[in-house]
């Protein structure tokens, strides 16, 4: 479970996230949906422990800054950052050791196979295309065998086969009871994945809906409904 309580973050004069609270239960997929600049990455980076923030974040009930919390979450950043001098396989090996993950050699083979990296496993980080780097980054996060998995705009830069594979991975992780938080500005990419959607704009959650609450409305209708409401309120102010 991922819990965010009263999270605020400013970068100098920009208030990027303003008193945001939400929870994503075990075995569910939460989606942060909103335009560029809404504050999605800032929330995810705060959870990942990369930013100072006000408020409280817990991962399976453990404050996110504690090592015990860091050991059980996986994070795929918006822009993949690989080590130039490590091969694809060595990246996974590094994660396996750092996190003391019990992922087996066979599981690593299967993971690389799924993301069409098996025959590229001896290539160095700086020899890869942006899409391949993104796939290595996804494999590294999965190699942790996380309890909580966060993906920041994960579909950007992926080819259709990798997008299909990633969607399957998300559903498999969810079935295993993993908590997932995915940020995106592309509605169509997550339409078949979400359990709860948090619609963000200008550092706020404008509205949130579970699938049951949404009924037969699709994400498009929900998103544009919530943002139209907000515009009306802005004009009335
Ligand atoms: P999103 O992920 O929804 O596109 P971000 O969290 O990246 O949004 O950005 C939220 C706001 O914070 C934007 O106004 C953005 O310009 C600002 N911002 C993000 N990162 C920084 C930074 N490192 N320094 C200054 N402002 C930033």
Residue 183 CA: nearest ligand 1 atom is 2
User: Which pLDDT band holds residue 137 (cuts at 50, 70, 90)?
Assistant: very high
Atom 6 of ligand 1 has which residue's CA nearest to it? 39
pLDDT tens-digit series, residues 70-105: 999 999 999 999 999 999 999 999 999 999 999 999
pLDDT at residue 164 in the model = 95
Ligand 1 within 6 A of 42 CB? yes
**Lowest mean pLDDT, pick from 9-18, 55-64, 136-145, 221-230:** 221-230
* Mean pLDDT across 112-133: 96
Residue 231 tokens read as 């515009």
Residue with tokens 């309120």: 233
Homologous superfamily, domain 1-72+148-157+179-237? P-loop containing nucleotide triphosphate hydrolases (3.40.50.300)
- Helix segments in 144-194, DSSP class H: 160-175, 187-190
Give the global pTM.
Answer: 0.95
Atom 5 of ligand 1 has which residue's CA nearest to it? 39
Residue 233 tokens read as 């309120």
Arithmetic mean of pLDDT over the chain: 95
Whether the pLDDT of residue 219 is over 90: the answer is no
Residue boundaries of the structural domains of the chain: 1-72+148-157+179-237, 78-145
Centroid of ligand 1 to alpha carbon of 14 (angstroms):
8
Q: For the residues of 99-141, what is the DSSP string, one character each?
A: TT----HHHHHHHHHHTT-GGGTTSBGGGS-HHHHHHHHHHHH
Pairing mode of beta strands 179-184, 148-152: parallel
Residue with tokens 């705060």: 46
Burial 160-179 (b: 16+ CB within 10 A, else e): eebeebbbebbeebbeeebb
Ligand 1 within 6 A of 51 CB? no
pLDDT at residue 5 in the model = 98
- State whether residue 176 is helix, strand or coil: coil
Task: Give how far Cα 135 sits from Cα of 85, 97, 128, Å.
Answer: 17, 20, 10
């Amino acid at each position: 479970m991922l819990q965010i309580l009263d999270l605020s973050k400013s970068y100098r004069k920009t208030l990027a996230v303003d008193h945001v609270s939400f929870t994503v239960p075990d075995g569910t997929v939460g989606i942060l949906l909103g335009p560029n600049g809404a504050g999605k990455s800032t929330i995810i980076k705060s959870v990942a422990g990369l930013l100072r923030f006000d408020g409280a974040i817990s991962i399976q009930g453990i404050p996110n800054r504690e090592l015990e919390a860091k050991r059980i979450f996986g994070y795929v950043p918006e822009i993949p950052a690989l080590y130039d001098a490590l091969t694809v396989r060595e990246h996974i090996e590094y994660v396996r050791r750092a996190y003391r993950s019990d992922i087996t050699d066979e599981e690593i083979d299967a993971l690389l196979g799924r993301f069409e990296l098996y025959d590229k496993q001896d290539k160095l980080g700086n020899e890869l295309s942006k899409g391949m780097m993104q796939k290595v980054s996804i494999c590294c996060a999965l190699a942790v065998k996380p309890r909580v998995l966060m993906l920041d705009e994960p579909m950007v830069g992926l080819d259709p086969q990798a997008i299909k594979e990633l969607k399957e991975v998300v559903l498999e992780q969810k079935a295993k009871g993993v908590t997932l938080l995915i940020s995106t500005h592309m509605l169509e990419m997550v339409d078949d994945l979400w359990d709860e959607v948090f619609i963000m704009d200008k550092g706020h959650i404008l509205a949130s809906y579970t699938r049951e609450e949404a009924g037969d409305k699709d994400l498009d209708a929900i998103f544009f409904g919530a943002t139209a409401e907000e515009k009306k309120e802005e004009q009335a102010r």
